[in-house]
Structure 1
Amino acid sequence: MPTIPFFDGHNDTLLKLLEAEGDPTQLFMDGMDKADIDLPRARAAGMAGGFFAIFPPPLKGNLGSVVAGAGNNRGGLPPELGLADAQAVTLGMASILMRIERAGGVAICRDAAAVRAAIAQGTLASVLHIEGAEAIDTDFRALDVLYAAGLRSIGLVWSRANAFGTGVPFRYPSDADIGPGLSDAGKALVRECNDRGIMIDLSHLNAAGFRDVAAISDKPLVATHSNVHAISAHARNLVDWQLAAIAESQGVVGLNFATGFLRPDGKMRVDTEIEVMVRHIDALVEALGEDGVALGSDFDGAMVPAPIGDVTGVPKLLQALLDKGYGEALVRKIALENWLSMIERCIG
């Protein structure tokens, strides 16, 4: 069977490149052992494109240490990140993606037509995404600049609070019903995103903030990298009412490959089987329908199952769906077409 092309709803490869030793452009173009995605492996796997996230990381300690910290996994959140620090890191990662584009490694796509054109030409289609809006001031001046640079998707928060809303902790067992809803600035940012054609990502957002977005937004609800709380009771996963709201809006959820959000025991363990990923997809298809399920790997930002390993393992998941009895047409929807449809409806 020919390789099924896929579009990834979330990766943190730009952060990996920012922190790497050496020239980020060259590392991405030629291959990078310590990353989950680079251009040679993406092409070999059939990756057609994805949302490339800009994530302003914690100021003290690496991401893993923050997630595993005693205060955080008991329900605390990392401290807020200052505007200047967030903007410096955000500009650094945006610059990396632009340089990769100049080298011919990706095409930064500003609408669905550009995504489809890049895929048709065999170029990796990149949609610029921000995971946590700390770099955006409440007057939205930075948003003007980032939009001009190609920003077309925003996660209002990461798992901390900012000027716009509050995220959820990395806590198991728990749900997302933690903390207040969106601030006035957060509600204004939702409206601004709707007006400009910027997709809003609900992953990491708490329950009250989710409800605010659902009440304000006139676009489909999207969680680019989240899973099913009924299978893995992690605060980062979606409970039944959230899945119902996404379904009602004809939205999309991208399956997160992070083992702690997949496993029923909530543990970050690499010895996690593909079968549990299929269980989440089964549940998502049941809740959202065939048009509401996609992939959102979290590559380069999470521990993924050993049988997947990196981007070259995605075809194994797609084959597992075929082996389960999913028809090829549905697998192609989950792999690629549902994201293309969502980009067209949310971005234009």
Structure 2
Amino acid sequence: MSGFPVFDGHNDLTLRLLRGDVTAEGVASGLTDGHIDKPRAKRGGFGGGMFAIFVPSPGNKDVRHDEMRNASYDIPLPDPISEDDALTWTERGFDVMDDLENAGAVRICRTADEVAAALPGDEMAAVIHIEGAEAIDRDFERLHAWHARGLRSLGPVWSRETVWGHGVPFRYPSDPDIGPGLTEAGKALVRECNQLGILVDLSHLNAKGVEDVARISDAPLVATHSNAWAVCPHSRNLTDQQLGMIRDSDGMVGINFASAFLRPDGQMNAEFELDIMLRHFDHLVENLGEDRVGFGSDFDGALVPEPIGDCAGLPHLLSALRAHGVDDGLMTNITHGNWLRVLRKTWGE
């Protein structure tokens, strides 16, 4: 599968560096645990992707994962993050991305052509993404400054309230029609992102927020790391109605590898075979078409299926897709071609 480098819609490697779990030099040399480092990326054909700068909520993620092993759950939204706290963390996130590039682990890409050139290269192609826009000021001065530093993708919310809009809680079973959508400030943020050519990520937005983006945006609708609600009725997943809006905009969806968003029972349990992922793949292709589906792993931010394990395990997924009948043309599309198409269209190339 070496001819099919993977561009991935979402990972949280940056968070591990911000927390001090690993250094940029460790990512470059392979002296890490977690899901991503340069040697494992080369073994697995992980060519790069969207590297998220994410401000975590206080608390223990393992507690939330434990709750998500129940037959049903409704985990309250975390408290909002202050702009000052988010600003400090986000600025450090940009510094961490520079550290990764200086260590030779990634190449920060600002155009789709740069991504395409870097995918088969030595360093991972890295597109900078902000997940949850608490650090953005109302005048958008930071948005413009960070765009100049390489920001090319942004999610207005994570699963907590911001001045821009409302996210979905971790709730199963549940549809995503939970609460109000974008605020007036959030609608202005979408318009400003359109002007700059910054991708607006639908993942984590609730149903009304997705509808608001669809009404406002003149760019393709993209959910970087989401799955099919029809297969797993979790609040984080996309309904067929939402998939129709994404299809009609010529956007796309990156399949999320997080166990609880894949398994039909909504369980945070990695012990399952890849046929469940194939069910999501089939449903997304049926509703979006072959040109609008890719990967959005959530590596280093999620519990992924045991048959994959980490980025070195991507060939297991590609082999499962091949056995499922995916030919070379479709394999090229879903591993990187569809992402390159939507990035070019969004970024005005």
TM-score by length of 2: 0.95
Equivalence map 1:234-313=2 (5 Å) = 234-313=234-313
Deviates more, 1:267-276 or 1:98-107: 98-107
Matched residues, number: 345
Q: Could you tell me which of 62, 84, 87 is aligned with 2:60? A: 62
- 1:121 shift after superposition: 4.1
1: CA distance between counterparts of 2:74 and 2:234? 12
Aligned amino acid, residue 191 of structure 2: R
CA contact (8 A) 2:10 2:297 kept: yes
Contact 2:54–2:132 (CA<8 Å) still a contact in 1?
yes
Contact 2:187/2:212 (<8 A) preserved: yes
Structure-2 residue corresponding to 1:47:
46
Instruction: Give the alignment of 1:19-98 within 5 angstroms.
Output: 19-21=19-21, 24-58=23-57, 60-66=58-64, 73-74=73-74, 76-98=76-98
**Which amino acid counterpart does residue 63 of structure 2 have in structure 1?**
S
TM-fit CA distance, 1:123? 3.0
Q: Kindly provide the CA deviation profile for residues 12-36 of structure 1, in whole angstroms up to 9, marking residues without a partner as x.
A: 01001221345x1111111143210
Contact 2:65-2:268 at 8 Å conserved across structures? no
TM superposition shift of 1:252: 0.4
Percent sequence identity is 52
- CA pair 145-73 structure 1, distance change in 2 beyond 3 A: farther
Aligned to 1:326: 326
Shift >6 Å, 4+ stretches: none
TM-score of the pair, normalised by structure 1: 0.95
Q: How far, CA to CA, are the matches of 2:66 and 2:198 in structure 1?
A: 32
Amino acid at match of 1:25: A
Give the whole-Å Cα distance in 1 for the aligned partners of 2:102 and 2:288.
38
Q: For the Cα contact (< 8 Å) 1:251–1:292, is it kept in 2?
A: yes
Cα deviation per residue 1:220-256 (whole Å; 9 max; x = unaligned)?
Answer: 1000000000110000000010001001111100000
Give the superposed CA RMSD. 1.6
- SS of aligned partner of 1:171: strand
> What are the ranges of 5 or more consecutive residues in structure 2 without an aligned counterpart?
none
After TM superposition, give the deviation of residue 183 of structure 1 in Å: 0.7
Aligned residue for 1:77, secondary structure, equals coil
**Post-superposition CA distance 1:301-347 (Å, at most 9, x none):** 01001111000111111111110111121011101100111111112
In 1: Cα distance, 2:322 partner to 2:120 partner: 25
In structure 2, the partner of 1:316 is: 316
Amino acid at match of 2:78: P
Question: What amino acid sits opposite 1:38 in the alignment?
Answer: D
Deviations 1:102-127 (A, max 9, x none): 22221111111221222354431100
Q: Gapped runs of 5+ residues in structure 1? A: none
